[in-house]
């Protein structure tokens, strides 16, 4: 029995189309695609720390291919990632106990912070922090997460900010070595880098732990960068505070006098 003409054309068309590409194989251990597998860089056994690390992972960031949180939790035995937009009672049994804690985020006028380098001699260190809290999100979302969480955190946790690493352009190895995700201002670092630096100060063997985590991060950045077609240009080295403020002020003025092009939507002077 002959097939209807339309069925014949359909069969021929299907035969001519290339087969659909299969999903990339994912490593069952590090959960990264095969070509950028990091198993060779991960510690043979997760690193033990006296500090409990809790990472609040924004839902939008949880599936980002360049998020460092999944690798960080593979490296540290006492680390937990919580996917949510804010910390609140009932979300973490550990935090519900109000343990001595610090959370990492730059200061604001309303919420000052202790510098990480000053932490050992500050009143915050009278009760060594049992818990280190970090926020993994874009900077816009991270600010929202911190603001939403501070009512809960203020009862037991202190805000701590990182010192800018002058050995790295822009303060982060994401800038000085390979820029995968451009940061909005100097001193911004990845979650893994921030946690590594903090543990370097508060853990008894912190220098060794920090170095081990940074090595894994460097391997991750280097392996991923091999597949970048157009790497982002590194941000210039962090300007002095006064010059940076003036630059931002001038940019703000320029934007306020710019008129919107009704056709293209681009700004023009």
pLDDT in tens, 175-230: 444 444 444 444 467 889 999 999 999 999 999 999 999 999 888 888 877 766 65
Kindly state the tokens that stand for 88. 């609140």
Report the pLDDT value the prediction gives residue 30, as an integer from 0 to 100.
82
Pick the residue with more confidence: 68 or 231?
A: 68
Report the pLDDT value the prediction gives residue 249, as an integer from 0 to 100.
55
Whether pLDDT at 237 is above 80: no
Instruction: Assign 3-class secondary structure to 190-203.
Output: CHHHHHHHHHHHHC
pLDDT in tens, 156-179: 999 999 876 545 444 444 444 444
Ranges 22-31, 58-67, 95-104, 235-244, most confident: 95-104
pLDDT in tens, 9-40: 444 444 455 545 556 788 878 878 788 888 89
CA distance 64 to 53: 20
83 pairs with which residues across the strands? 57
CA distance 85 to 143: 11
CA distance 72 to 54: 11
Whether pLDDT at 245 is above 90: no
Contact 224, 36 (CB under 8 A): yes
pLDDT in tens, 43-86: 999 999 999 999 999 998 777 667 889 899 999 999 999 999 99
Report the pLDDT value the prediction gives residue 127, as an integer from 0 to 100.
63
Question: What's the pLDDT band for 94 if we cut at 50, 70, 90?
Answer: very high
Pick the residue with more confidence: 263 or 233?
A: 233
Please, what sign has the CA dihedral across residues 189, 191, 195, 198? positive
Report the pLDDT value the prediction gives residue 254, as an integer from 0 to 100.
44
Please give the mean pLDDT across all residues of the chain: 75
Residue range 132-148: average pLDDT?
A: 93
Contact 134, 55 (CB under 8 A): yes
């Amino acid at each position: 029995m002959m097939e209807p003409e339309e069925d014949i054309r359909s069969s021929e068309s299907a035969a001519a189309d290339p087969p659909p590409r299969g999903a990339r194989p994912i490593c069952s251990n590090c959960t990264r695609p095969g070509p950028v597998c990091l198993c060779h860089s991960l510690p043979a056994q997760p690193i033990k720390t006296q500090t409990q690390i809790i990472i609040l992972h924004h839902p939008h960031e949880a599936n980002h291919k360049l998020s460092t949180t999944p690798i960080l939790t593979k490296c540290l035995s006492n680390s937990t990632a919580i996917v949510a937009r804010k910390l609140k009672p009932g979300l973490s049994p550990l935090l519900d106990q109000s343990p001595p804690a610090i959370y990492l985020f730059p200061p604001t006028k309303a919420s000052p912070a202790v510098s990480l380098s000053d932490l050992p001699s500050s009143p915050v260190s009278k009760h060594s922090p049992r818990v280190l809290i970090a926020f993994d999100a874009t900077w816009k979302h991270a600010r929202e997460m911190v603001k939403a969480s501070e009512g809960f955190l203020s009862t037991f946790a202190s805000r701590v900010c990182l010192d800018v690493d002058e050995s790295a352009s822009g303060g982060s190895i994401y800038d000085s070595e390979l820029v995968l995700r451009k940061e909005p201002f100097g001193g911004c670092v990845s979650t893994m880098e921030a946690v590594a630096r903090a543990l370097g100060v508060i853990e008894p063997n912190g220098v060794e732990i920090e170095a081990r985590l940074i090595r894994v991060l460097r391997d991750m950045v280097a392996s991923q960068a091999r597949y970048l077609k157009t790497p982002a240009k590194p941000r210039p080295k962090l300007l002095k505070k006064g010059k940076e403020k003036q630059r931002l002020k001038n940019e703000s003025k320029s934007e306020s006098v710019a008129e919107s092009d009704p056709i293209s939507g681009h700004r023009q002077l």
